[in-house]
Amino acid sequence: MRDNKNNNSKNNNFKTKKALGQCFLTDERICERIVSLADIKKEDIVVEVGPGLGAITKHLVKKAKKVYAFEIDNEAIPILKKNTSFSDNLIVYNEDILKADLSFLEDIKEDVILVSNLPYYITSPIISLFLYNVKKVKRMVLMVQKEVGDRLSAKVSTKDYNSFTIIVSYFSKVTKLLNVSRGSFTPSPNVDSVVIEIDKIDREIKPLDEDLFIKVVNSSFKERRKTILNNLQSLYTKEKAAIYLEKASIEPGRRAETLSIDEFINLSNVIKNEL
């Protein structure tokens, strides 16, 4: 095992907390590679979620104008600050990112980039938060469970293609950047990880009602083995659902995973016009 792998995990004999999904990245070369892939400029502002003991943070502060780090574990913060004590451009918040007031980001003039080794158990809520609610963040470079990375980059009619695939793909372009083995973490998780980039896009074809679009997509995947007609009955009567599908030129016997984003947009527009 390389000498550079366990430096962070041994800081003050810090014990990871399973309840917080803590798996600290301890491979120094991977940390450096992630920051390099994030392509951070000196004028950029970075938000980091779950910095832990600072394995990635100590590289981020060398590249960015300022780093806002949100760490929920108050016991990790003293070590995080110790490991980044050479910097004067780091602001640490001992807060749950999902409950934090992030409105201050909208007043920042510079570009804001989200960089994070995301805790697996809250990956989807955090991605959703920055996709829908935090408009200032236009780009994210995230370490996620490989399975999540496969879903986010899945193509139509594949086993990994689901409602979250469609919604994330509607708002952004997802690119896989780097595969990371489970051995690069302490404690070692049961799965491998992948670094992905999520770039927000301004889609030319948009639904009349984005909230309705998301509602229809989620409903259509409610039970994967059922047809889209059957799944839409959680929102509408069978008769109305059949009418909507016919007007959208979608066969009622199709399953949701065979529909493209544009087909879902068209379907939600039909429904919006019929309501």
pLDDT digits (tens, 9 = 90+) for 21-62: 567 788 999 999 999 999 999 999 999 999 999 999 999 999
Name the pTM for this structure: 0.88
- The pLDDT tens digits for 130-145 are 999 999 999 999 999 9
pLDDT value at residue 19? 54
Q: What angle do CA 113, 116, 117 make, to 5 degrees?
A: 165
Q: Which DSSP helix (H) or strand (E) runs through 34?
A: helix 28-38
Looking at residue 23, its pLDDT comes to 75
- CA distances (Å), origin 3, targets 11, 26, 29, 79, 117: 14, 10, 11, 20, 21
- How far the first Cα of the chain sits from its last, in Å, is 62
Mean pLDDT over 147-158 rounds to 95
Q: What is the pLDDT of residue 185?
A: 86
Residue 18, pLDDT score: 59
Beta strands 185-186; 24-25: pairing state: antiparallel
Q: Given a cut of 60, is residue 106 above it in pLDDT?
A: yes
Q: Is the pLDDT of residue 7 over 70?
A: no
Provide the pLDDT for residue 186.
Answer: 81
